[in-house]
């Protein structure tokens, strides 16, 4: 049952919850949300609020909190759906301890990799035995290192994985970007010690989302200053992968991501009717994806062994799906700040050839890109292998150093 929210007698969570000692003295009073799973049930009706306005806050679990933070909060905040509706999105805000530097704490907005399509897969609901903890845990460890270095870190769950109803708009870049940008606004409402200079950073699906965040940031959130973006193994060329799945005769992880995109697209684009694309058997098994997170779908049940080509109707018209996929490919973006992309040559999830193509396309559009290839890295280990270089690159942007580009001699992750 939806939680009813009374906007008049705002409860001062920082006074009532024991978080008061952790928050900066200048933090604004914010309402306290319900605890546990009820935190993610958006108030109904949703109170009016501008994008980024805080709805309520809460205390993260020890699994989700960043140990080095002086302030660590769950937050539900206003954002905007693709159709312009006001929606509630959740995430986390982590602020270093002590006094901020002049201009406030520099900010990193982290855009996460694929966890699933539904609310239960929200990264802020992670737990030690959670199916996605294998990737979320290491990501938080890396983000905690940034907090120790003096960065505030915000981590959006994205629409559909937190307080907003419906399926998550998987790999739909603009709405991912809104979630990642609006949580920066929410963070500054909670902790004005956070400054306005930021870097967008993400991995896999989050690498794609990161590039869209950097593209839309200057126009969508002009009160902030984008210093740069860092994308590890960014998702791309999904239309190409979907077409491959219509012919593939062996099980493939790409089939699950294709089905995620098809369901997501159909949920917010009424002109896309899955009954004209997928077989009755495939349609009958889609609910599995809407009741569990991605690792479970990839490793057990129907989709772990399904033959991709058998899921599509013969001669199905994919034109609208492929157009939407092309619109959400990051290679066509113009980004008004330096960009660093890192790719592992052993990656079998985000194929090296597709990231090579993204790098070429971004360079053709005049972006200031540095592309780094790690020959022994796979989809997960590229973040570890490239982590030190990424941290140094971000620090250089913060210190005002000019970024170099290797667009004139791009490396290639894909080898014959």
Burial 250-271 (b: 16+ CB within 10 A, else e): eebbbbbbbbbbbbbbbbbbee
Q: What is the pLDDT of residue 385?
A: 96
- Give residue-wise pLDDT tens across range 91-134: 999 999 999 999 999 999 999 999 999 898 999 999 999 889 99
Q: How confident is the model at residue 411 (pLDDT cuts 50, 70, 90)?
A: very high
For residue 222, what are the domain limits? 13-236+334-409
Phi, psi of 88 (to 5 degrees): -100, 135
Among residues 144, 142, 137, the alpha carbon closest in space to that of 68 is found at 144
Domain membership flag for residue 362: yes
Q: What is the pLDDT of residue 207?
A: 98
H or E segment at 280? helix 280-289
Q: SS3 helix, strand, coil % of the chain, rounded to 5? A: 40, 15, 45
Q: Answer whether 231's CB lies under 8 Å from 210's CB.
A: yes
Residue 97 CB contacts under 8 Å (≥ 6 apart), including other chains = 68, 69, 70, 71
Q: Report, as an integer, the average pLDDT of 19-23.
A: 39
Give the total number of structural domains in the chain.
Answer: 2
- Say if residue 406's pLDDT is above 60: yes
Q: Rg for the chain (alpha carbons), in Å?
A: 21
Identify any residues that bridge with 226 across adjacent strands, giving them in sequence order.
198
Reduced to 3 states (helix: H, G, I; strand: E, B; else coil), residue 260 is helix
- Say if residue 303's pLDDT is above 70: yes
Question: Between residues 29 and 387, which one has the greater pLDDT?
Answer: 387
Same-domain status, 287 and 189? no
- Give residue-wise pLDDT tens across range 222-273: 999 999 999 999 999 999 999 999 999 999 999 999 999 999 999 999 999 9
> Taking the model in full, what pTM does it have?
0.92
- Give residue-wise pLDDT tens across range 368-394: 999 999 999 999 999 999 999 999 999
Q: What are the start-end ranges of the H helices in 54-153? A: 133-148
Boundary residue ending a domain (304, 327, 350): 327
Identify any residues that bridge with 73 across adjacent strands, giving them in sequence order.
93
CATH code, 112 = 3.40.50.1820
Domain membership flag for residue 5: no
Q: How confident is the model at residue 30 (pLDDT cuts 50, 70, 90)?
A: confident
Domain membership flag for residue 2: no
- Say if residue 12's pLDDT is above 70: no
Question: Between residues 86 and 29, which one has the greater pLDDT?
Answer: 86
Domain membership flag for residue 46: yes
Same-domain status, 215 and 360? yes
Q: How confident is the model at residue 416 (pLDDT cuts 50, 70, 90)?
A: low
Q: Decide the pairing of beta strands 152-156 and 369-374.
A: unpaired
Q: Strand order in 86-95's β-sheet? A: 54-58, 71-80, 86-95, 152-156, 105-111, 194-203, 225-232, 339-344, 369-374
Task: Please tell me the distance from the alpha carbon of residue 255 to that of residue 199, in angstroms, as a whole number.
Answer: 32
| Number of neighbouring beta carbons within 10 Å of residue 337 | 20
- Give residue-wise pLDDT tens across range 329-343: 999 999 999 999 999
Q: How confident is the model at residue 64 (pLDDT cuts 50, 70, 90)?
A: very high
Same-domain status, 200 and 254? no
- Say if residue 61's pLDDT is above 80: yes
Q: What is the pLDDT of residue 340?
A: 98
Give the number of C-alpha atoms closer than 13 A to the C-alpha of residue 263, restricted to the C-beta side: 23
- Say if residue 25's pLDDT is above 80: no
Task: Please tell me the distance from the alpha carbon of residue 334 to that of residue 214, in angstroms, as a whole number.
Answer: 9
| Number of neighbouring beta carbons within 10 Å of residue 248 | 18
Task: Please tell me the distance from the alpha carbon of residue 56 to that of residue 119, in angstroms, as a whole number.
Answer: 17
Same-domain status, 370 and 310? no
- Say if residue 135's pLDDT is above 80: yes
Domain membership flag for residue 56: yes
Same-domain status, 212 and 277? no
Domain membership flag for residue 280: yes
Q: What is the pLDDT of residue 415?
A: 79
Which has the minimum average pLDDT: 13-27, 32-46, 163-177? Answer: 13-27
Same-domain status, 302 and 380? no
Domain membership flag for residue 1: no
Q: How confident is the model at residue 23 (pLDDT cuts 50, 70, 90)?
A: very low
Q: Report, as an integer, the average pLDDT of 14-41.
A: 64
Same-domain status, 116 and 243? no
Boundary residue ending a domain (281, 296, 327): 327
Same-domain status, 215 and 136? yes
Same-domain status, 165 and 262? no
Same-domain status, 116 and 205? yes
Domain membership flag for residue 168: yes
Same-domain status, 247 and 293? yes
- Say if residue 27's pLDDT is above 60: no
Q: What is the pLDDT of residue 366?
A: 97
**Cα separation values, 404 from 8, 149, 197, 232, 340, Å:** 52, 23, 20, 18, 10
What is the distance of C-alpha 140 from the center of its chain? 13
Boundary residue ending a domain (327, 361, 385): 327
Q: What is the pLDDT of residue 28?
A: 56
Same-domain status, 36 and 64? yes
Q: Report, as an integer, the average pLDDT of 57-77.
A: 96
Phi, psi of 94 (to 5 degrees): -130, 125
């Amino acid at each position: 049952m939806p939680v009813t929210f009374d906007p008049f007698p705002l409860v001062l969570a920082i006074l009532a919850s024991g978080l008061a000692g952790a928050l900066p003295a200048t933090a604004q009073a914010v309402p306290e949300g319900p605890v546990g799973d009820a935190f993610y049930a958006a108030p109904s009706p949703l109170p009016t609020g501008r994008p980024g306005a805080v709805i309520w806050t809460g205390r993260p679990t020890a699994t989700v909190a960043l140990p080095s933070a002086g302030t660590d909060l769950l937050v539900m905040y206003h954002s905007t759906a693709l159709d312009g509706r006001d929606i509630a999105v959740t995430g986390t805000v982590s602020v270093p301890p002590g006094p901020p530097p002049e201009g406030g704490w520099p900010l990193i907005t982290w855009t996460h990799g694929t966890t699933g399509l539904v609310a239960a897969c929200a990264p802020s609901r992670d737990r030690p035995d959670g199916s996605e903890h294998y990737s979320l845990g290491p990501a938080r460890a890396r983000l905690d290192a940034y907090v120790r270095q003096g960065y505030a870190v915000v981590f959006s769950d994205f629409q559909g994985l937190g307080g907003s109803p419906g399926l998550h708009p998987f790999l739909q870049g603009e709405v991912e970007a809104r979630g990642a940008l609006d949580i920066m606004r929410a963070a500054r409402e909670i902790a004005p010690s956070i400054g306005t200079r930021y870097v967008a950073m993400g991995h896999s699906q989050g690498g794609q989302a990161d590039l869209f965040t950097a593209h839309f940031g200057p126009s969508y959130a002009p009160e902030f200053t984008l210093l740069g973006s860092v994308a590890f193994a960014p998702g791309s060329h999904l239309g190409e992968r979907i077409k491959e799945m219509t012919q593939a005769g062996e099980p493939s992880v790409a089939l699950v991501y294709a089905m995620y995109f098809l369901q997501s697209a159909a949920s917010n684009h009424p002109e896309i009717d899955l009954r004209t694309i997928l077989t009755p058997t495939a349609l009958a098994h889609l609910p599995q994806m809407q009741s569990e997170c991605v690792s479970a779908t990839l490793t057990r049940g129907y989709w772990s062994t399904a033959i991709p080509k058998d899921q599509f109707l013969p001669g199905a018209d994919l034109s609208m799906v492929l157009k939407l996929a092309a619109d959400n490919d990051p290679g066509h973006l113009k980004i008004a700040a330096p960009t660093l992309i890192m790719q592992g040559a052993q990656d079998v999830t985000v194929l090296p050839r597709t990231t090579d193509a993204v790098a070429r396309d971004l360079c053709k559009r005049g972006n200031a890109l540095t592309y780094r290839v790690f020959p022994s890295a796979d989809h997960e280990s590229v973040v570890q292998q490239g982590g030190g270089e990424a941290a140094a690159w971000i620090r250089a942007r913060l210190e005002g150093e000019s970024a170099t580009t290797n667009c004139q001699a791009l490396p290639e992750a894909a080898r014959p």
